[in-house]
């Protein structure tokens, strides 16, 4: 294990702990003992098989939205609109599932839905990437703004074409069990989507670090000028990166709709995009690291829900935990930079002395 | 018509505050990507201050203080620790939303009906307010909108006609040169972030106490990002920002009008999404940005 990686693990763990400690302070305002609350949280999420499985249910979409941000980040592009691409994916998944569920056998329908979701998210991403490549439009402005457009689209469809047969609430009819993603562990909600998201994370790792395209993407991210001189078509890379990034976030919508909700409702997982950014930062945008960081955020989210149920702690405590963990992790990059600098200096001194 | 234009002008106010705040910070090289969080904190603190004290002045002070603290965290990480501005902002936006929702609950519990304060009063300017047509639009507004009238010329003057403005702009264009000239780059940047926090907090409070007289956690709903976008679209110039802001204020007033009257021609959701669609179109079609050269790049002496 090299010293840089050791720093990363150790300092990140410390940052996460400090983030949780600091967010614990707000519990004092509720008259609760933070240590007791955290102990209860750990106990409640580890005591029961169903609840432990819930952690991984929450983890699955986070891995994908986080990959969406992290992948673009490798090309030095900011896709902060994963939330919108997630909505687009969910919308396509639910409408194509509703349309195909009576016409095709389950597995084939699922494959088609999967591909359509990829296509839709990819196109949505392509638009952002193309605007950046062709018109130098700031990608994070466009991606951020397109989230609100996607949300409006979703609300419109839920109120009109996709409105449930009863017509009571702005939500769709439930999907047929034939197009649900299979359950992995009996009597829990853990579904195949979790395995799928891990496989995709590994796939993205291979793509980024073992293929020529991945190499080009990272070169563009690391040094755009060098990329140009090496004859890499920077604009093409930008569009491709955003296509993949958008498709990843849209897939999160697919596995949430077909794996967990089995329908589409309003106010659907509103924090999944932003949490993805935090996770990518925690993992240094590394696809394999993202899996583990997602599990941490999944555990925090399930823990937050449990605290609400057992102790009446407001659900906003989850956001406080996630936000302060993110801030400490970002600040810890500074500490790591300093450690690295000091190590370099020491190396230099040794060389000079010898 | 007059009441419609008056409303458009009123709705422009917080956007102009926020976008002008961004202009100063970004001209010095720092993007306040935490602007959404600054707005939310300002909206909430403004409401809490007004509700608990019964005084709008206290509310506005609370809002400025909350905005200042939020921006200070952003500035400390981005300027002094030299970290990535976009991700820092995202983290702070999440945290701000959590803090606001959590403490709203701690202070007020779960009230049966939403808590309300009297919105800022409209002040009629004597004589001017009785000018036909223009009077009711421009001179029957609340104090923050009047402050907006002053903000554009003052901001323009400071930025382009004073030595302080020159230092700010140079810091964003060429921090090395500024450093050589003996000016502290980080201090200028951090001060601009703090200034943006003060003004941004005030902008946020407009949504709670200036207009609706109440607070909900989704009260800002991306308006901070719109202010951020207007700064880009307005070419980092207070005059450009003014034009951009009026367009968006108009779009928002149209949206409210359409939602309440409902022509049926377009769905409501279209008008809700309209400001965001306009931003996307403008971001793509607008050319010749004069982006501050070192925008978003942390400054380190050693490098």
Residues B11-44: tens digit of each pLDDT: 899 999 999 999 999 999 999 999 999 999 999 9
Residue of A76, A77, A149 to mutate for B, most B C-beta atoms under 10 A: A149
Q: Token digits for B201?
A: 């907090």
* Residue A249 backbone dihedrals phi, psi, to 5 degrees: -65, -35
Residue numbers in B near A323 (CB within 8 A): 91-92, 94-99
Please, what is the angle between helix A192-210 and helix A49-74, to 10°? 30
pLDDT band per the 50, 70, 90 thresholds, residue B288: low
* Mean pLDDT lowest among A301-315, A327-341, B129-143, B229-243: B129-143
The answer to whether the beta carbons of residues B233 and B227 sit under 8 Å apart is: no
Q: Cα–Cα distances in Å, from B164 out to A168, B16, B180, B237?
A: 60, 21, 16, 16
Contact B48, B216 (CB under 8 A): no
Q: pLDDT confidence of A270, banded at 50, 70, 90?
A: confident
Mean pLDDT for B189-199 is 96
* ipTM, interface predicted TM-score of the complex: 0.90
Determine the Cα angle at A305 with ends A303 and A311, to 5°.
90
Residue B191 has pLDDT above 60, yes or no: yes
Contact A29 B267 (CB under 8 A): no
**Per the CB < 8 Å rule, is A323 touching B73?**
no
B75, B10, B14: which is closest to B202 by C-alpha?
B14
Residues on chain A touching B93 (C-beta within 8 angstroms): 274
Q: Do A320 and B102 touch (CB under 8 A)?
A: yes
CA of B282: which chain A residue's CA is closest? A137
Residue B289 has pLDDT above 70, yes or no: no
pLDDT interval class at B300 (50, 70, 90): confident
Which domains are present in chain B?
A: 2-111+137-285 (1.10.3470)
Residue A87 has pLDDT above 80, yes or no: yes
pLDDT at B95 over 50: yes
Confidence check: pLDDT of B303 > 50:
no
B129 CA to chain A: closest CA distance, Å? 37
How high is the pLDDT of residue B133?
Answer: 81
Mean pLDDT of A32-57: 91
For residues B278 and B286, give the distance between their C-alpha atoms in angstroms, rounded to a whole number.
12
Residue B139 to chain A, least CA–CA distance (Å): 33
Give me A71's structure tokens.
């992948």
Nearest to A148 among B86, B88, B222 (CB): B222
Q: Is B103 on the interface with A (CB under 8 A)?
A: yes
Are B275 and B254 a contacting pair, CB within 8 Å? no
DSSP codes joined into one string, B16-80: HHHHHHHHHHHHTT---TTHHHHHHHHHHHHHHHHHHHS-HHHHHHHHHHHHHHHHHHHHIIIII
Contact A316 B279 (CB under 8 A): no
Is residue B90 less than 8 Å (CB to CB) from chain A?
yes
Indicate whether B270 pLDDT > 90.
Answer: no
How many angstroms separate the Cα of A257 from the Cα of each of A91, A95, A110, A180, A261?
A: 9, 10, 12, 8, 5
Q: Does B236 touch chain A (CB under 8 A)?
A: no
Q: What is the pLDDT of residue A321?
A: 93
Asked if B284 and A135 come within 8 Å (Cβ–Cβ), the reply is yes
More confident residue, A111 or B258: A111
Residue A340 — very low, low, confident or very high, per pLDDT cuts 50/70/90? Answer: confident
- Mutation test of the interface with chain A: which of B102, B264, B274, choosing the one with the most A Cβ atoms within 10 A? B102
Tokens of A188: 């829990």
Average pLDDT, chain A: 91
Share of chain B above pLDDT 90, in %: 53
Question: Per-residue pLDDT for B266 more than 80?
Answer: no
- pLDDT over 90 percentage in chain A: 64
Which residue of B229, B269, B289 is in closest CB contact with A145? B229
B93 touches chain A (CB under 8 A): yes
Interface of B with A in 41-80 (CB under 8 A): 73, 77
pLDDT band at B291 (very low <50, low <70, confident <90, very high): confident
Look at A320 and B95 and tell me if their CB atoms are within 8 Å. yes
3-state secondary structure A36-79: HHHHHHHHHHHCCHHHHHHHHHHHHHHHHHHHHHHHHHHCCCCC
Nearest by CB to B90, which of A30, A80, A142?
Answer: A80
The answer on pLDDT for B261 being more than 80 is no
Domains and CATH numbers, chain A: 33-312 (1.10.3470)
Q: Which one of A319, A329, A345 would you mutate to disrupt binding with B, by most B Cβ within 10 Å of its Cβ? A: A319
Q: Tell me, what's the pLDDT at A147? A: 93
Which of B97, B102, B267 lies nearest to residue A317, judging by beta carbons?
B102
Nearest neighbour of A145 by CB, restricted to B100, B101, B279: B279
- Cα distances from A325 to residues A51, B92, B99, B158, B285, in angstroms, run 23, 11, 14, 39, 38
Q: Is the pLDDT of residue B287 over 80?
A: no
The DSSP symbol for A28 reads G
């Amino acid at each position: 294990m090299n010293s840089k990686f050791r720093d990363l693990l150790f300092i990140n763990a410390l940052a996460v702990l400090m983030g949780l400690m600091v967010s614990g302070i707000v519990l004092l305002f509720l008259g609760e003992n933070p240590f007791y609350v955290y102990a209860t949280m750990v106990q409640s999420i580890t005591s029961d098989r169903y609840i432990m499985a819930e952690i991984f249910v929450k983890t699955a979409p986070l891995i994908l939205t986080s990959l969406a941000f992290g992948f673009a980040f490798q090309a030095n592009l900011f896709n902060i609109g994963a939330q919108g691409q997630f909505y687009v994916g969910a919308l396509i998944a639910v409408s194509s599932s509703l349309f195909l569920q009576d016409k095709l056998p389950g597995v084939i329908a699922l494959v088609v839905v999967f591909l359509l979701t990829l296509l839709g998210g990819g196109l949505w991403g392509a638009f952002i990437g193309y605007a950046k490549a062709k018109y130098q439009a700031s990608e994070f402005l466009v991606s951020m703004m397109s989230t609100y457009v996607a949300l409006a689209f979703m609300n419109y469809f839920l109120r009109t074409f996709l409105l449930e047969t009863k017509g009571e609430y702005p939500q769709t009819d439930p999907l047929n069990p034939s197009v649900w993603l299979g359950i992995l562990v009996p009597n829990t909600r853990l579904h195949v989507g979790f395995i799928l998201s891990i496989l995709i994370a590994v796939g993205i790792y291979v793509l980024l670090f073992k293929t020529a395209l991945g190499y080009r993407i990272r070169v563009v991210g690391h040094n755009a000028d060098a990329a140009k001189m090496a004859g890499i078509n920077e604009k093409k890379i930008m569009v491709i990166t955003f296509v993949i990034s958008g498709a990843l976030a849209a897939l999160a919508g697919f596995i949430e709709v077909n794996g967990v909700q089995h329908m589409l409702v309003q106010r659907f997982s509103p924090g999944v995009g932003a949490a993805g950014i935090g996770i990518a930062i925690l993992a240094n945008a590394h696809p394999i690291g993202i899996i583990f960081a997602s599990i941490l955020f999944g555990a925090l989210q399930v823990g937050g829900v449990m605290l609400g149920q057992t102790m009446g702690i407001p659900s906003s405590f989850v956001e406080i935990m996630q936000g302060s963990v993110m801030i400490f992790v970002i600040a810890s990059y500074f500490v790591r930079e300093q450690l690295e600098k000091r190590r370099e200096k020491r190396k230099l001194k040794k060389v000079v002395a010898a | 018509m007059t009441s419609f234009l008056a409303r458009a002008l009123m709705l422009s106010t917080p956007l102009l505050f926020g976008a002008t705040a961004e202009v100063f910070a970004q001209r010095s090289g720092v993007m306040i990507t935490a602007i959404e969080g600054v707005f939310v904190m300002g909206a909430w603190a403004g409401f809490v201050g007004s509700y608990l004290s019964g005084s709008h002045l206290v509310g506005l002070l609370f809002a400025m203080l909350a905005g200042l603290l939020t921006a200070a965290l952003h500035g400390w990480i981005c300027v002094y620790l030299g970290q990535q501005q976009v991700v820092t902002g995202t983290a702070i936006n999440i945290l701000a939303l959590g803090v606001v929702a959590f403490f709203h609950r701690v202070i007020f519990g779960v009230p049966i009906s939403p808590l309300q304060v009297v919105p800022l009063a409209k002040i009629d300017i004597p004589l001017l307010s009785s000018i036909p047509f223009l009077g009711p639009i421009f001179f029957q507004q609340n104090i923050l909108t009047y402050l907006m009238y002053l903000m554009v010329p003052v901001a323009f003057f400071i930025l382009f006609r004073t030595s302080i403005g020159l230092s700010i702009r140079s810091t964003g264009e060429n921090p090395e040169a500024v450093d050589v000239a003996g000016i502290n780059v980080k201090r200028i940047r951090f001060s601009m972030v703090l200034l943006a926090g003060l003004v941004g907090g005030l902008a946020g409070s407009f949504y709670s106490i200036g207009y609706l007289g109440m607070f909900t956690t989704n009260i800002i709903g991306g308006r901070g990002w719109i202010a951020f976008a207007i700064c880009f679209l307005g070419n980092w110039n207070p005059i450009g920002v003014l034009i951009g802001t009026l367009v968006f204020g108009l779009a928002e007033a149209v949206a409210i009008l359409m939602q309440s009257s409902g022509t049926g021609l377009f769905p409501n959701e279209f008008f809700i999404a309209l400001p965001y669609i306009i931003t996307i179109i403008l971001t793509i079609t607008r050319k010749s940005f004069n982006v501050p050269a070192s925008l978003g790049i942390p400054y380190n002496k050693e490098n």
